[in-house]
Amino acid sequence: MDWQHREIWEQIQQKIRTSIAARELRAGDAVPSTRKMARMLGVSPNTVHRAYIALVRAGVLISRRGIGIFVPASSTPPLSDRERALHDAADAYAALAAKIGAPLDEAAQELAAAYAKIDSDLTAALAGK
């Protein structure tokens, strides 16, 4: 899926869902206020509000009027085997990159290049069938 072509509010919504699934956000945690999140991301508060409302309607977040928006206890789904494996591999790669002093942008470039090579090799293999 090409995230660059998704609406910003959808990207915000997906990031929050992913953060909950990865347990970066846990039951009871508050998400930043609409205005604070908008400032952090450099977007309109209406964009953040749209993402939050969609997440509240889906039951991913709960709103407590006058208090804030929180992750409910029932919103922490277990990671699938695929998600857990990907998360563990990403942690290991990040730890190795940090250990050897590679900056994030360089580590991300290397990962993207490796992924592109695998994708290219797979495409070539399928074309050669």
* Confidence (pLDDT) at 45: 95
pLDDT of 75 > 70? The answer is no
Q: Which two three-digit tokens encode residue 29?
A: 């945690």
Strands of 54-122, DSSP E: 62-64, 68-70
Q: What value does the mean pLDDT take over residues 37-54?
A: 94
Q: What value does the mean pLDDT take over residues 84-88?
A: 79
- pLDDT greater at residue 87 or residue 5: 87
Report the CATH number at residue 12.
Answer: 1.10.10.10
- pLDDT above 90 covers a percentage of the chain that reads 44
pLDDT of 2 > 50? The answer is no
Q: What value does the mean pLDDT take over residues 23-50?
A: 92
Same domain flag for 71 and 102: no
Q: Which residue(s) pair with 30 in the sheet?
A: 70
Same domain flag for 71 and 105: no
Place of tokens 């090409």: 2
Nearest CA to 45 out of 13, 80, 9, 73 is that of: 9
* Confidence (pLDDT) at 40: 92
Nearest CA to 8 out of 58, 45, 36 is that of: 45
Q: Which two three-digit tokens encode residue 34?
A: 């609409």
State how many domains the chain has.
Answer: 2
Strands of the chain, DSSP E: 62-64, 68-70
